[in-house]
Every structure is written in structure tokens, then in C-alpha cells.
Copies of this chain bind each other. A is one copy, B any other.
Amino acid sequence: MKTKQNTLYVGSLAKGLQLLKAFDESHTDMSLSELAQRTGLNKSATQRLANTLHVEGMLDKDPVTRRFRPSHAWLQLAYAYYWSDPLVGQAMPKLIGLSQELGETVNLAEMSGDHIVYVSRLPCKRTHFAATIIGRRLPALSTAAGRAMLSTFPEDERNHAIETWPVQKFTPGTTIDRDEIRQTIEQAVTDGFSISSGQMLLNETSVASPIIGHEGRAHAAVQCSVSAHTWTREKVEREILPKLQDTANAISPSFQPYRGGTPGPLNGE
């Protein structure tokens, strides 16, 4: 299979990455054969690549079951990522402050193509496991954070996104009607924030405020999840929203996506 027969493309490396990407929430550890099956590579290639990854410390191998698992190195990559993302350094202390003030779960989400990814999570309440760990990727249109960010986009881009970006049904309450989604986003355009309920989890309400970046466009959002049992929409708007927006605004001005303003000494450390 010549995926990309370009001389600037190293097939073996790409195949090795396939192995890494084959692991997810429902494939937490895999045997050689499973790995081969899932990647579509033949047994020999899988063997060689998996062995290489193992030797290089990227895959743990259970000595008795011979199954492969992600290694601690995967977390070190996340560690390196955090240092490389200027927004995280800016936002982290403020997010901590917010979560302490609110006593509720606070997240930092970033736009990644047509999805959002949770970059930082500060869980305050016991909740679904997936809601407590970083790196989760969700369709932007289906999340309050994604909608809040989209609301800062130019109108044509916004419309294009609403019409073409993927949506997915997570709960019986997830909105998959694009007209309804359009309404929530237009609402966010006027409000400057976005609220939704029961989109990802039943009985969960989510508020998000965009972090305005270069040229008024948001690449990220601060988001807060609360139980819909104890929080009415009004109570959220009254008690959470102001602090949430303050936090988002406090992060905004100092954040330059590429090389926006003054190239002075970085204070993000």
C-alpha cells in the first residue's frame, strides 16, 4: 500500500504511528494479532513495528500475556505538549483560581480542526471518568465550548462550519439538528457565551466562554460543567457566568496565537 509515494514521506514511521493511534478507550491493551487486525498491517510488519516501539519505550509489554499497552512515555509527550502550548501557561493559574471559587469542574478546551480537545481539566465533583481526563476530542458543534468559539468566527466560516462539520449523538438529548445548532451559536454571538444541557451526559449543564485571541477570533474556551439537578439555567447565569467570563477575559489579552503583538520576554514561562 503506497499511502503517499513521496520521497519526503517515510512509510515505516507512519505505520508505526498507526500502531500508537490504534489505542483508545475501547482498545486499552492489545495482542500482536489484534494490533495487526486493527491497523490492517500484516503480522510481520506489526511484529517488527511493535517490537521497535517496545524497545524504544513507547509500548509496555506484559511479560505474561504478551499484550501491548501504552507506556508512561505517552504522558511525557503530554508534558512536552503543555510546555509548548503558550495558552496553557497563561491559563492554568487562572483556571485553578476559578475552580476554587466555583467549587465546580472547570475545563480548558481548544479548537482542533472541526473538533475541540480538552487541554486541561480541573474536576471538582465525581463524575464520568471520560470527563476527568485530558485529551478528549469531541465534535465542536456538539459542545458548548465549540459553539462559544465558533461564535467568534466570521459569518461565512461560521455558516460553513454549521453546515459541514460533524455532529454525533451522545445522549438521547444530544442536538443533531443543524438548524437548532445554528440557533445556539447565533445566540452565543449576541450573548458572548454558550450554555447547553444534556448534550454529552444526561443531567449535565455546560457553560462556555470564548478566549478571544488574535483578530477577535477564539481558538480556545473556558468551560464549566455542573449538575442539571442542582443548577437551573438562571442560577448558572447568575452565579457562574460572571466569574467564568472574567477568567476567559483575563486570559485573552495576553494571548497571541502566533506572533501577534510585542515580541517581548515571555511571561508564560
Residues of A within 8 A of B (CB): 4, 7-10, 12-17, 20-21, 23-26, 28-29, 47-49, 51-53, 55-56, 58, 62, 64-65, 69-85, 88-89, 92-93, 96-97, 100, 103, 110, 112, 117-119, 122-126, 129, 132-137, 258-259, 269
Contacts and interface: CB of A to CB of B under 8 A. Distances in A.
A48 B7 CA distance: 8
Contact of A10 (B49, B79, B123): B49
A222 to B, nearest CB: 16
Ranked nearest first, the 9 interchain pairs of A and B with the lowest CB-CB distance are A79-B135, A75-B135, A13-B16, A78-B78, A28-B84, A12-B12, A74-B81, A70-B81, A23-B80
A184 to B, nearest CB: 24
Contacts of A25: 79-80, 83
Nearest to A64: B258
Given A16-B16, A117-B76, A52 B9 contact: yes
A42 to B, nearest CB: 14
